[in-house]
Amino acid sequence: MPGTMGGFDLDVVTAEAGDILAGRVIVDAEGNPLTGTLKLSGTAGDSQVLSGQTYYNTDAKGKRTGSMANRGALNWSGNNTTYGVPAGFYSGGTLDSRPSYNSGYNAGMTAADARVNVNSANYKAGYNAGVTAADNRVNTASANYKGGYNAGVAAADARTNVNSANYKAGYNAGLAAGKKLNSANFTVTASADKKTWSQGNGSTVSLPYATFTLSGSHVFASAFWSRSDISSGGTEYWMMSSEGSICKMDRTNFIICSSVNGSNWKAATTLHLPVSTVSKPYRITVWYV
**What are the pLDDT tens digits along the chain (289 aa)?**
455 555 667 777 888 888 888 888 888 878 889 898 888 888 899 999 999 999 999 888 889 999 999 999 999 888 888 888 999 999 999 988 888 888 888 888 888 888 888 888 888 888 888 888 888 888 888 888 888 888 888 887 788 887 888 888 877 776 666 566 788 899 999 999 998 877 777 788 898 999 888 777 677 778 888 888 876 655 678 888 766 777 776 544 455 544 333 444 455 567 788 888 899 999 999 887 7
pLDDT at 260: 35
pLDDT at 28: 81
pLDDT at 64: 95
Radius of gyration of the chain (CA): 66
Q: How many CB atoms lie within 10 A of CB 108?
A: 10
Contact 165, 156 (CB under 8 A): no
4 strand-pairing partners: 9
User: Count of residues for the chain?
Assistant: 289
Calculate the alpha carbon distances from 99 to 77, 105, 153 in Å. Answer: 7, 10, 60
pLDDT at 115: 82
pLDDT at 2: 53
211, 194, 179, 208: which is closest to 286 by C-alpha? Answer: 211
Calculate the alpha carbon distances from 225 to 5, 71, 101, 192, 272 in Å. Answer: 181, 134, 107, 18, 12
124 strand-pairing partners: none
Calculate the alpha carbon distances from 188 to 20, 99, 116, 226, 286 in Å. Answer: 162, 110, 86, 11, 13
Residues 6+ apart with CB under 8 A from 119: none
pLDDT at 263: 42
Contact 27, 14 (CB under 8 A): no
Q: What is the dihedral of CA 264, 266, 270, 273, to 10 degrees?
A: 100
User: In angstroms, rounded to a whole number, what is the distance separating the alpha carbons of residues 89 and 120?
Assistant: 48
User: In angstroms, rounded to a whole number, what is the distance separating the alpha carbons of residues 241 and 252?
Assistant: 14
Q: CB burial class (10 A; 0-12, 13-18, 19+) of residue 157?
A: exposed
User: In angstroms, rounded to a whole number, what is the distance separating the alpha carbons of residues 196 and 161?
Assistant: 52
What is the per-residue burial (b if ≥16 Cβ within 10 Å, else e) of 248-271? beeeeebbbbbeeeeeebeebbeb
pLDDT at 140: 86
**Under DSSP, is residue 46 helix (H, G, I), strand (E, B) or coil?**
helix
Q: How many CB atoms lie within 10 A of CB 198?
A: 14
User: In angstroms, rounded to a whole number, what is the distance separating the alpha carbons of residues 284 and 163?
Assistant: 44
283 strand-pairing partners: 187, 226
Contact 211, 270 (CB under 8 A): yes
pLDDT at 50: 94
